[in-house]
Structures are given as C-alpha cells and as structure tokens.
C-alpha cells in the first residue's frame, strides 16, 4: 500500500468508526427501528392506528381493524421484534422516526431487525452486487454496490433460498446512501479493511 493509499484508508477507517459512534448508530434510532418494523407488520394486516406517530408514519387509508388476524409468519417475526425491542420506549405522540433509511425501508418486502453488534467492510473491492428489496434473488434490485463503498452490517441475518441474507447499509462520509438485502460474501478479499 502506498503512503497516499494508506492515508486514504486511515481516513476512511476513522470515518467508519465515527459513524458507529454517531447517535444514529449508538442506540438512539434502534428503538425507532423496532417500532417501525413491529407496526409495519400490523399495518400490513390492516391495523387502524390511533396514535399520532402511527397515523403519521403509516396512515389509516385502507385499514380495517384494531385487532388484525396475523399469519403464522407475521406472528413469528413479531415475536423476534418484540424480543429485540425489550426495554424500548417510543413516544407515540410525536410524528416522525429517527431512521436514516426510512424511505428505503418503505420499499422492502422483508424488514430488517436490528441486531446486537455491528461490523463493516471499509472499501468494497468485490464485484457488482445488487441490494434487493427482500431476501430473494427475484426481489427488486434497489441499488448496486460500487467499488470503495463503506458497508455497515448491524441487523440480524435472514435465511432464505438456501442462503444467508444480510441487510447492508452503505455510507459515504457518514451519510447513508443506499441499503438493501444481499447474500454477498465479504471478508478480507472483498474489503480494503474490516471493522467490528
């Protein structure tokens, strides 16, 4: 590695660790993520929201009930979210959430569940990889990974189609640029550096 390349990599590594220490990833937005995922399950089942937050985030157009019948898959996912959000308190009287990729999540067919740890790939060197709306090769491709991308992995993995899928968030100078599901392989050969 040349000295200029070494300096550039050190700067990207410092930026990545600054990102992990930022309020959006230090826990402030985690409860909002869980709230969104849990309530998206109810919204999908026709739930009519009474809180200002529920109405602002999901609306009540097309809602049918205050006691929706959930599928077994929805119940299982809901149980996982409830376990993850233990101890969270979200003020439902407000009208917005602190989730940097909320607009992207609205396009997902499988919502991610925030995990306990975080890791990252600093400087993607792998080939083009699609970030999808769900955990299937037939799911819509929302974005493509590009050389040099900084990838953050901070959500539970999902098993689907015989593959392990990860929710990947891509940042540039601390700003979220793209996100989605991918069954990508990553490690020292695909990344300039690893973190976490």
Confidence grade of residue 29 (pLDDT, cut at 50, 70, 90): confident
3-state secondary structure of 51: coil
Q: What is the per-residue burial (b if ≥16 Cβ within 10 Å, else e) of 160-189?
A: beeeebbbbbbbeeeebebbbbbbbebeee
**Is residue 164 one of the residues assigned to a domain?**
yes
**Is residue 139 one of the residues assigned to a domain?**
yes
**Is residue 36 one of the residues assigned to a domain?**
no
pLDDT digits (tens, 9 = 90+) for 146-187: 999 999 999 999 999 999 999 999 999 889 999 999 999 899
**Is residue 138 one of the residues assigned to a domain?**
yes
- Residue 22 sits at the vertex; the CA angle it makes with 21 and 27, to the nearest 5 degrees, is 85
Q: Which residue has the higher pLDDT, 37 or 3?
A: 37
pLDDT digits (tens, 9 = 90+) for 39-91: 999 999 999 999 999 999 999 999 999 999 999 999 999 999 999 999 999 99
Which domain range does residue 182 map to? 100-196
Share the mean pLDDT of the chain. 88
Average pLDDT over residues 28-33: 86
Strand pairing category for 141-144 and 191-195: unpaired
Give the per-residue pLDDT at 116: 86
3-state secondary structure of 4: helix
Give the per-residue pLDDT at 27: 45
CA dihedral 70, 76, 81, 82 (to 10 degrees): 80
Give the per-residue pLDDT at 3: 44
pLDDT digits (tens, 9 = 90+) for 106-143: 999 999 999 988 999 999 999 899 999 999 999 999 99
Q: Specify the number of domains making up the chain.
A: 1
Tokens at residue 18, please? Answer: 């600054």
**Is residue 64 one of the residues assigned to a domain?**
no
Question: What length does the chain have?
Answer: 196
**Is residue 123 one of the residues assigned to a domain?**
yes
């Amino acid at each position: 590695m040349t000295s200029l390349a070494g300096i550039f990599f050190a700067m990207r590594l410092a930026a990545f660790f600054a990102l992990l220490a930022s309020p959006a990833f230090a826990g402030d937005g985690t409860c909002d993520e869980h709230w969104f995922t849990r309530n998206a399950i109810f919204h999908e089942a026709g739930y009519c929201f009474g809180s200002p937050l529920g109405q602002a985030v999901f609306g009540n157009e097309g809602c049918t009930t205050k006691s929706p019948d959930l599928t077994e898959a929805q119940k299982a996912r809901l149980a996982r979210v409830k376990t993850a959000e233990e101890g969270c308190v979200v003020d439902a009287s407000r009208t917005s959430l602190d989730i940097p990729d909320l607009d992207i999540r609205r396009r997902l067919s499988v919502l991610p569940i925030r995990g306990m740890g975080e890791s990252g790939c600093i400087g993607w060197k792998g080939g083009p990889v699609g970030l999808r709306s769900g955990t299937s090769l037939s799911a819509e491709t929302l974005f493509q990974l590009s050389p040099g991308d900084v990838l953050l992995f901070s959500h539970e993995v999902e098993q689907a189609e015989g593959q392990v899928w990860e929710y990947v968030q891509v940042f540039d100078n601390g700003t979220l640029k793209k996100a989605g599901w991918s069954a990508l392989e990553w490690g020292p050969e695909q990344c300039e550096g690893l973190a976490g």
